[in-house]
């Protein structure tokens, strides 16, 4: 590494360390998720639903005295209301027959981003008793918090005698059918690849980081009379190879930490990871306006890609990895993430290359777009570092 590249990397590392140090005392704000698990053993179906107290407080109010702290007494007094609110937004049917959901226990658990209500429930399904081996498929309709937060996701895990299944519920995918037979290796690969694609497409911070790195790919920085400005790149091949270096570096980096974290070899606190991801978007976008790293953006992509890998790993951990097909599931999720990235690149690059010489691209997209991304990511960083919520996404 040249002395100049080393100096650039050191500056970025110092900036990252200073901002992360400011975040240490507080919990980062994670995107709103709940964790739903079903255990299916023959005709017996039991469930557990972990729901963030902060989300329940926003939806139905739990802090009775308004002192900013939710006590066990306040939570216990609202157990019936919590169960009624949540179970009204979850519908399950087995082999087309409706199931009646009933709460069986209430607990509290601490996740990396705060306290969660743990609602345990059972499912009594019409006609299930007539089938000795239990249902062949479950259909689940999920709508928790969608009317309040369209970015909320329900991460579901189905534990079966034959293996495990996973699903992510969103407003666009609120109803899903889960086959309870043992999935083949190919089905597992496809299932996890689909979740990887979906995660990169709904992961706005990951997408904006990638776009911040792609925006300069069709431009070159030139100096005229002492002033530096972005000029259009001459050949499509130059832009292609620049994008290839950036995307490959990002891919290799986040694949390393995603795999290591998913296999339990490395672990970082969620509050640091989420804050660092937001900060990486800020720095990548500002580099387009005030270039610090010019021809070595692949270094930036690699360094921050290591952090983004931990973010991907947290989603994969919530989905769960089947013990009998761990490597297949990990490979599938990785391939899905890369497929989602390449789709974004395939759409962006031809349009950017065609518009690269226009004032709309150099002025509006490059300068204005990068500043807008930096401001949005800065707001995310403040939210996550200091446990605030003022953005709707």
Q: What is the pLDDT of residues 128-138, one digit of tens each?
A: 544 456 788 99
Per DSSP, the three-state class of 263 is coil
Q: Which residues, including other chains, have CB under 8 Å from residue 145's CB and lie 6 or more apart?
A: 32, 34, 55, 59, 89, 152
Query: What local confidence, expressed as pLDDT, does residue 27 receive?
Result: 35
Residue 386 pLDDT > 90: no
Mean pLDDT across the stretch 200-224?
90
Mean confidence (pLDDT) of the chain? 85
The band of 181, judged by pLDDT with boundaries at 50, 70 and 90, is confident
Query: What local confidence, expressed as pLDDT, does residue 315 receive?
Result: 81
Query: What local confidence, expressed as pLDDT, does residue 373 receive?
Result: 95
- Evaluate whether 239 touches 349 at the Cβ level (below 8 Å): yes
d(CA 13, CA 26): 21
Mean pLDDT across the stretch 332-350?
93
The band of 204, judged by pLDDT with boundaries at 50, 70 and 90, is confident
Q: At what angle do helices 236-262 and 326-355 cross, to 10 degrees?
A: 160
Residue 279 pLDDT > 60: yes
Let me know the angle formed at the C-alpha of 73 by 70 and 74, rounded to the nearest 5 degrees: 45
53/271: higher pLDDT: 53
Mean pLDDT across the stretch 323-349?
90
Token readout for 31 is 């995107």
The band of 187, judged by pLDDT with boundaries at 50, 70 and 90, is confident
Residue 43 pLDDT > 90: no
Calculate what percentage of the chain has a pLDDT beyond 90: 55
Mean pLDDT across the stretch 354-370?
92
Query: What local confidence, expressed as pLDDT, does residue 3 receive?
Result: 53
The band of 384, judged by pLDDT with boundaries at 50, 70 and 90, is confident
H-type alpha helices, the chain: 3-23, 53-60, 72-77, 79-87, 185-202, 204-214, 236-262, 270-289, 297-319, 326-355, 359, 369-386
């Amino acid at each position: 590494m040249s002395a100049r590249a080393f100096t650039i990397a050191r500056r970025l590392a110092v900036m990252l360390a200073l901002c992360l140090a400011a975040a240490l005392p507080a919990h980062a704000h994670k995107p709103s998720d709940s964790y739903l698990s079903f255990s299916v053993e023959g005709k017996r179906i039991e469930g557990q639903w972990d729901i963030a107290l902060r989300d329940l407080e926003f939806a139905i109010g739990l802090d009775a005295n308004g002192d900013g702290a939710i006590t066990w007494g306040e939570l216990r007094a609202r157990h019936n209301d919590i169960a009624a609110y949540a179970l009204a937004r979850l519908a399950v049917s087995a082999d087309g027959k409706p199931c009646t959901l009933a709460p069986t226990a209430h607990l509290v658990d601490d996740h990396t981003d705060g306290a969660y209500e743990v609602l345990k429930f059972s499912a009594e399904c019409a006609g299930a008793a007539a089938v000795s081996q239990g249902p062949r498929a479950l259909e689940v309709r999920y709508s928790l918090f969608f009317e309040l937060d369209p970015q909320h996701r329900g991460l579901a895990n189905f534990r079966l005698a034959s293996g495990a299944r996973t699903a992510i519920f969103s407003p666009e995918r609120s109803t899903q059918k889960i086959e309870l037979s043992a999935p083949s290796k190919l089905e597992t690969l496809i299932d996890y690849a689909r979740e990887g694609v979906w995660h990169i497409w709904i992961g706005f911070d990951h997408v904006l980081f990638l776009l911040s790195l792609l925006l300069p790919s069709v431009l070159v920085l030139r100096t005229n009379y002492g002033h530096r400005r972005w000029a259009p790149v001459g050949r499509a091949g130059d832009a292609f190879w620049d994008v290839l270096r950036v995307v490959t570096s990002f891919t290799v980096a986040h694949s390393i930490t995603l795999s290591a974290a998913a296999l339990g070899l490395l672990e970082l606190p969620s509050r640091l990871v989420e804050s660092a991801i937001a900060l990486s978007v800020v720095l990548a976008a500002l580099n387009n306006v005030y270039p610090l790293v010019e021809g070595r953006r692949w270094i930036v992509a690699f360094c921050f890609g290591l952090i983004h890998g931990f973010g991907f790993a947290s989603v994969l951990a919530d989905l769960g990895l089947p013990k009998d097909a761990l490597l297949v599931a990990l490979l599938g999720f990785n391939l899905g993430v890369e497929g989602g990235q390449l789709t974004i690149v395939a759409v962006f690059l031809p349009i950017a290359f065609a518009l690269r010489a226009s004032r709309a691209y150099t002025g509006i997209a490059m300068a204005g777009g990068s500043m807008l991304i930096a401001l949005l990511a800065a707001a995310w960083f403040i939210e996550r570092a200091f446990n605030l919520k003022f953005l709707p996404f």
